[in-house]
Amino acid sequence: MNRALRKVAVVGAAVTLVLAGCGRESGGEQEKATSVAEGKASGEVTVWAMGTEGEKLGAFAQDFMKENPDAKVTVTAVPWDAAHQKIASAIAAKQTPDVSMIGSTWQGEFAKTGALDPTPPELFQRDSYFPGAWDTTVVNDTSYGVPWYVETRVIYYRTDIAAKAGITKPPATWAELSAMAKAMQGAGAKWGINLQPGKTGSWQSVMPFAWSNGVEVSDGTKYTFDSPEMVEALRFYQSFFTGKLAPTELAEGALEPGFAKGEIAAFLSGPWMVDLIKKQGGAGFEDKFAVAPMPKQKSATSFIGGSNIAVFKDAKNRDAAWKFLQWLAQPAVQTRWYQTTSDLPAVRSAWQDPALAGDKFLKVFGEQLKDAKAPPTFATWEQVSAAFDTEVEKLAKSGEDPATVARTVQSKAEAIGTGS
């Protein structure tokens, strides 16, 4: 029996090894984009888009088809949950569509597989986008795809609680942010502020503080997490938890009701929260809270996220695909897309539209986007950020020393490498 078992294990291991050996070569050095033929688009363009975007894009693209009567855009909606897995598998099996929406932090990884088509420079101008957004498309000095919509993180706070605490203007510096959280807790809030205490994506809450303190997590060729500035930023982040100003444990979905009830007086989050909070708070709640840009240390930098949209090299209809992307990038179309989905335009001139410029909440996001950064587009960023999240959790929950956290993240990042 023992021998038989051993044999089984050997067979199992052999199969696993053989399977693990299958892979695909990665893309090489800097690539040059080929140009796109002029004239109207024609033929079918297949597009994958996630969530709401996938749900709404099909009908939205009718206008494009009106302008290009010979073209047909077919949209498949993909769940956000597993879109990464779906695109990765499609690349491996060469079953990619012509166009796909790409989460901005996935860009490095997918560009590295060599499956994405470099952006034709004659169709898109870097300057027309928010710089942080454009940077997310650039891998090895080549841009793959273009930003579609953006989001950034700002401070939400209860103006009524702040007023009770004697605060009448949004926090402009780190010190003022701490003071405000403390004062609002004194004025009856259970928690002065909520900052994500670990779990997936918590790095997106930490990095705004790090960037504002002058941190660069990469020098272009390798990761550089371990710096005095980083330690300082982590210490500041931790101070909210050690000072009992921020909860170290908050159930998913508990933030909105907590904020509406005044138990949580402030938090750091993105534009999607505006609607959720308004809905949770009910009528009149709109006047009880406000959003404010990141407070300043050396700078007042936030995180820029959102999604890019890219064309695959294996696209059957490459020219029409790029023309469709070009259409999506027109300022008027970007504004209409905002009205359809509430996605914030990545193209700067679209923000002049009164629908965006006149909204008291959105205005703040528009300002913050001018100073917002994205992580490096290394192929391994998703892995490194997962390791980062784990350390953030230790920082917030078990009081891990910030210097140790910076060192651990750096050594984990070095072990993972940049993937190039």
CA dist 265 to 123, 202, 255, Å? Answer: 46, 19, 10
Residue closer to other proteins (CB basis): 307 or 410: 307
Residues 6 or more apart whose CB falls under 8 angstroms from that of 311 comprise 98, 99, 116, 117, 145, 318, 321, 322, 325
Using CB under 8 A as the binding rule, the residues of this chain from 263 to 282 that contact other proteins are 270, 272, 276, 279-280, 282
- Map tokens 């696993």 to a residue: 16
Residue closer to other proteins (CB basis): 97 or 345: 97
Residues 6 or more apart whose CB falls under 8 angstroms from that of 259 comprise 156, 158, 194, 265, 267, 277, 280, 281, 289
Q: Tell me how far apart the alpha carbons of residues 343 and 213 are, in angstroms, rounded to a whole number.
A: 29
CA dist 226 to 229, 233, 234, 407, Å? Answer: 8, 11, 11, 5
Helix, strand, coil share (%) of the chain residues, nearest 5? 50, 15, 35
Beta carbon of residue 238, minimum distance to other proteins (angstroms, whole number): 25
Q: Does 20 help bind other proteins (rule: CB under 8 A)?
A: yes
Using CB under 8 A as the binding rule, the residues of this chain from 85 to 114 that contact other proteins are 85-86, 88-90, 92-95, 97, 103
Q: Does 386 help bind other proteins (rule: CB under 8 A)?
A: no
Residue closer to other proteins (CB basis): 3 or 32: 3
Handedness of CA 274, 280, 286, 292 (dihedral sign): negative
Q: What are phi and psi of 77, to 5 degrees?
A: -85, 135
The token pair at 410 is 């750096």
Beta carbon of residue 151, minimum distance to other proteins (angstroms, whole number): 8
Helices (H), 166-315: 174-186, 203-212, 228-242, 255-261, 272-281
Residue closer to other proteins (CB basis): 20 or 39: 20
Residue closer to other proteins (CB basis): 24 or 40: 24
Beta carbon of residue 243, minimum distance to other proteins (angstroms, whole number): 23
Q: Tell me how far apart the alpha carbons of residues 211 and 207 are, in angstroms, rounded to a whole number.
A: 6
Site string for other proteins, 225-264 (x = CB under 8 A): --------------------------xxxx-xxx------
Beta carbon of residue 185, minimum distance to other proteins (angstroms, whole number): 19
Site string for other proteins, 303-332 (x = CB under 8 A): ----x-------------------------
Site string for other proteins, 119-158 (x = CB under 8 A): --------------------------------x-------
Residue closer to other proteins (CB basis): 10 or 415: 10
The token pair at 288 is 């009880």
Residues 6 or more apart whose CB falls under 8 angstroms from that of 352 comprise none
Q: Tell me how far apart the alpha carbons of residues 171 and 157 are, in angstroms, rounded to a whole number.
A: 10
Beta carbon of residue 78, minimum distance to other proteins (angstroms, whole number): 7
Beta carbon of residue 163, minimum distance to other proteins (angstroms, whole number): 25
Query: Which H or E run includes 267?
Result: strand 266-269
Q: Does 355 help bind other proteins (rule: CB under 8 A)?
A: no
Beta carbon of residue 362, minimum distance to other proteins (angstroms, whole number): 16
| CB-based contact 329:125 (threshold 8 Å) | no
**Count of residues of this chain found to bind other proteins when the rule CB under 8 A is applied:** 53
User: CB 132: neighbour CB atoms within 10 A?
Assistant: 25
Beta carbon of residue 407, minimum distance to other proteins (angstroms, whole number): 31
Using CB under 8 A as the binding rule, the residues of this chain from 46 to 85 that contact other proteins are 48, 50-52, 54-55, 74, 76-82, 85
- What SS3 state is found at 362? helix
| CB-based contact 233:210 (threshold 8 Å) | yes
Q: Does 34 help bind other proteins (rule: CB under 8 A)?
A: no
Residue closer to other proteins (CB basis): 104 or 418: 104
Residue closer to other proteins (CB basis): 2 or 85: 85
The token pair at 26 is 């990665």
- Which residues make up the interface to other proteins (CB under 8 A)? 4, 7-12, 14-16, 19-20, 22, 48, 50-52, 54-55, 74, 76-82, 85-86, 88-90, 92-95, 97, 103, 151, 251-254, 256-258, 270, 272, 276, 279-280, 282, 307
